[in-house]
Amino acid sequence: MEIRSLTRAEEEIMLHLWQMGRGFVKDILAEMPEPKPAYNTVSTIIRILEKKGFVGYMAYGKTHEYFPLISEAEYKRFEMQQLLENYFDNSLTKLVSFFVKDHDLTTRDLDEIIQLMQTKKTE
């Protein structure tokens, strides 16, 4: 199955569902901050996520308990790959360079990046 990018509203629902593991629409709604969307809005978004292959469900009569079919880690990998391809010519060097030049990284941030690179280099 091909992963596709989510809208902001879809991503918000998925973030709650990933955190919860599984839940009914009312459970997802309860986790959302104020102002909460309407129950029908969340229900509609969940059905869209189901059609996109992100969410599965267990039916209990007319009630459905939803659960993620794609992990948060899988989705993050997909989105980072899209970011890399679309904005940094598929170059990790350009991505890191962007953050080093355009963000106020602390010495600690830079040390952590260097340590991660050294660890990866010795693997």
Q: What CATH number does residue 45 fall under?
A: 1.10.10.10
- With a cut of 90, say whether residue 101 has pLDDT above it: no
Q: Which domain holds residue 95?
A: 89-123
Same domain, 21 and 62: yes
The pTM is what? 0.80
Helix axes 92-102, 72-87, angle to 10 degrees: 80
Q: Tokens at residue 20, please?
A: 């919860």
Say if 75 falls within a structural domain.
Answer: no
Say if 78 falls within a structural domain.
Answer: no
Cα–Cα distance measured from residue 54 to residue 61, given in angstroms and rounded to the nearest whole number: 22
Same domain, 23 and 64: yes
Cα–Cα distance measured from residue 44 to residue 24, given in angstroms and rounded to the nearest whole number: 13
Give the model confidence (pLDDT) of 67-90 as tens digits: 999 999 999 999 999 988 999 899
Same domain, 63 and 93: no
Do 64 and 24 form a contact (C-beta atoms < 8 A)? Answer: yes
Report the pLDDT averaged over residues 104-108. 83
Q: What is the mean pLDDT of the chain?
A: 91
pLDDT for 18 equals: 97
The structural domain count of the chain equals 2
Mention every residue, 6+ apart, whose C-beta is less than 8 A from residue 13: 28, 42, 45, 46, 49
